[in-house]
Amino acid sequence: MDDLHSLIQEFKVFIFSLFSNLVQAGYLVAWVWLQSIVGAFIDSRHLAGLDQWTLIVFQILFAISTLIPIVTYIYKRVRKKILSAQRTVEGERNQ
């Protein structure tokens, strides 16, 4: 019975991790999609000179400012997984 309970717990952790990874991938897909829309908007304006450069600079700033929270969130999740795995390995090694 203990083995079944442990297997169910591991399965729950696996499902949670899978869902979490899918959400993170969804964030990145949404970011890429949004960047393509912004790029298409800029291209459709047929601007030249300073106006074009201003929009390009804002596109770059927008891309960076929207990507930083996503990357930070993903980094924290991956770092937590690595630390958890290290603790598990150390715990098994000490037994």
Give the residue from 84, 71, 81, 79 showing the smallest Cα distance to 24: 71
Q: pLDDT tens for residues 20-39?
A: 888 888 988 998 998 889 88
Phi-psi map region of 48: left, alpha, beta (phi>0 left; psi -120 to 50 alpha):
beta
Number of H helices, E strands in the chain: 2, 0
pTM of the full structure: 0.62
Grouped pLDDT means (10 residues each) for the chain, 95 residues: 80 86 87 88 84 87 88 87 88 81
Identify the domain containing residue 72 by its residue range: 2-94
Provide the b/e sequence for 74-88 (b: ≥16 CB within 10 Å): beeeeeeeeeeeeee
The domain total for the chain is 1
